[in-house]
């Protein structure tokens, strides 16, 4: 089956507080970001997927199975939680091996696979020290390693970049990209949109417990026609270019900043605009073209406003 996860009218209530609200979706296998601000419902959604919570209404299926009270399914899933839950008196090697045993590994394999998972997460230097003395970044690497140790088909990472230094963030980004190339499915929850965009081009955008959009960032942006695309152009003669753009291209607004040598254009037909701009480039001496909306921050801001 290509389906990784499906939800139908999935709802979780905490008393009168809504955790997730009537989510219906179908996700194929692959690497995908789960994005939204703190309190958006991301962690609740992940806990429903991993069987830590039971839906109030509706259902969620992972690999076609309900996760609640399903140990067989747990062996196919690796989960890195946002919150720490360590035995601080153990070393990382001991901790990851112990969780590997709980995930179904034989005793003879657990130690070897724990070391391999920790090495892959850049934890070799400290894996034989007690966890109680670890920095936040060391703890994050250890949490990711325990999610990988039993070689799951689906890896779920809840805010894995929190507390990591620039080197750690880069290494974790490369790790996720490598898992995707190996055919693993990865779901990464984060509120740092640009960092997740470095790992994958496919996203779920969630806000106030609702999924606002799902898909590739450019595909999502393309259907939001009520918001003109914003394009910044640097040129040698921005006034000459502005005249040509207004005369020949489909635009809904143009702002000129002569001091910066830039032109801000708004258009509802970006494909036609870019095709025409190629023909006009010589008129104003176009040096650089940047789409301000070809990023997750802008798309998410639009969706929250609309939602």
Mean residue pLDDT across the chain: 87
What is the arithmetic mean of pLDDT over 160-181? 87
Residue 187 to residue 168: CA distance in whole angstroms:
19
Asked if residue 295 has pLDDT above 80, the reply is no
Higher pLDDT, 138 or 2: 138
What is the arithmetic mean of pLDDT over 79-107? 93
Asked if residue 297 has pLDDT above 70, the reply is no
Asked if residue 23 has pLDDT above 60, the reply is yes
Query: Which pLDDT does position 283 carry in this prediction?
Result: 63
Please enumerate in sequence order all residues whose Cβ is within 8 A of that of 130, keeping only pairs 6 or more positions apart, or say none. Answer: 88, 89, 90, 91
Query: Which pLDDT does position 278 carry in this prediction?
Result: 76
Q: Which domains does the chain have, with CATH numbers?
A: 3-221 (3.40.50.300), 226-294 (3.30.70.100)
Asked if residue 36 has pLDDT above 60, the reply is yes
* This prediction's pTM: 0.75
């Amino acid at each position: 089956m290509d389906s990784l996860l499906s939800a139908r009218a999935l709802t979780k209530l905490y008393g009168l507080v809504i955790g997730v609200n009537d989510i219906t979706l179908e996700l194929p296998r692959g690497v995908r970001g789960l994005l939204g601000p703190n309190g958006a419902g991301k962690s609740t959604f992940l806990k429903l997927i991993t069987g830590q919570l039971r839906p109030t209404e509706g259902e969620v299926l992972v690999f076609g199975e309900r996760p609640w009270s399903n140990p067989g399914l747990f062996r196919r899933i690796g989960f890195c939680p946002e919150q720490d839950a360590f035995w601080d008196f153990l070393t990382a090697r001991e901790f990851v091996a112990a969780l590997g045993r709980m995930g179904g590994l034989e005793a003879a394999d657990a130690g070897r696979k724990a070391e391999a998972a920790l090495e892959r997460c850049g934890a070799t230097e400290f894996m034989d020290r007690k966890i109680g003395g670890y920095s936040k970044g060391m703890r994050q690497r250890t949490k990711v390693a325990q999610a990988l140790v039993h070689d799951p088909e689906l890896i779920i990472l809840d805010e894995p970049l929190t507390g990591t230094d620039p080197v750690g963030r880069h290494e974790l980004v490369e790790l996720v990209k490598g898992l995707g190339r190996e055919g693993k499915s990865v779901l990464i929850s984060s509120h740092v949109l640009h960092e997740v965009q470095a790992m994958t081009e496919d996203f779920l955008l969630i806000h106030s417990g609702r999924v606002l959009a799902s898909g590739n960032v450019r595909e999502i942006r393309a259907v939001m026609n009520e918001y003109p695309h914003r394009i910044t152009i640097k040129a040698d003669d921005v006034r000459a270019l502005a005249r040509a753009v207004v005369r020949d291209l489909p635009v809904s607004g143009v702002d000129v900043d002569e001091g910066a040598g830039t032109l801000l254009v708004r258009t509802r037909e970006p494909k036609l605009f870019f095709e025409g701009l190629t023909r006009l480039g010589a008129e104003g001496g176009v040096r650089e073209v940047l789409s301000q909306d070809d990023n997750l921050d802008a798309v998410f801001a639009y969706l929250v406003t609309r939602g």
